Structure 1
Amino acid sequence: MKLDFLASTLTAFALVSAAAAGCASTPRERDSAMNATTTFSPSSQIEPATLVLRSYEAALNRADVDAIVSLYTPDAVFMAQHRSPAIGRAAIEATYREIFAMIRLDITFEIDEVVVVSPTVAYARTRSAGTTTILAADVQVSEGNQELFVLTRDDERSDWQISRYIFSTTQPPQG
Structure 2
Amino acid sequence: MGIRLITLVLASLLLPLAAQAAQPAAEASATAAVTQQLKRYETALNASDLDHVMTLYAGDAVFMPQNSPPAMGSDAIRAAYRQIFDLLRLDVRFTIDEIQPLSRDWAFARTRSNGTVKLLKGDQPASSEGNQEVFLLHRESDGQWRFARYIFSTTQPRK
| TM-score, length basis structure 2 | 0.82
Q: Does 1:141 align with 2:127?
A: yes
Match of 1:123 among 91, 96, 108: 108
User: Matched residues in 1 for 2:140 and 2:120: separation?
Assistant: 39
Query: What's the CA shift for 1:50?
Result: 0.6
Deviations 1:44-73 (A, max 9, x none): 211111100000010000000110011000
Q: Is 1:159 aligned with 2:159? A: no
The 5 Å alignment of 1:1-175 reads: 38=19, 39-40=22-23, 41-139=26-124, 140-155=126-141, 158-174=143-159
| Other-structure match for 1:10 | none
> Do the aligned residues in 1 keep the contact of 2:131 with 2:152 (CA within 8 Å)?
yes
Ranges in structure 1 where 5+ consecutive residues have no aligned partner: 1-33
| Unmatched 5+ stretches in structure 2 | 1-14
Q: Which of the two has higher C-alpha Rg?
A: 1
CA shift, 1:43, in A, is 2.1
- Equivalent-residue separation in structure 1 for 2:103 and 2:112 (angstroms): 24
Do 1:42 and 1:117's aligned partners in 2 also have CA atoms closer than 8 Å? Answer: no
- Match of 1:59, SS state, is helix
State how far apart, in whole Å, the 1-side matches of 2:131 and 2:146 are.
21
- For residues 72 and 115 of structure 1, the distance between their equivalents in structure 2, rounded to whole angstroms, comes to 18
Q: What is the Cα deviation at residue 121 of structure 1?
A: 0.2
Give the alignment's TM-score, normalised by structure 1.
Answer: 0.75
Give the Cα separation in 2 of the matches to 1:50 and 1:138: 35
1:145 partner amino acid: N
After TM superposition, give the deviation of residue 125 of structure 1 in Å.
Answer: 0.3
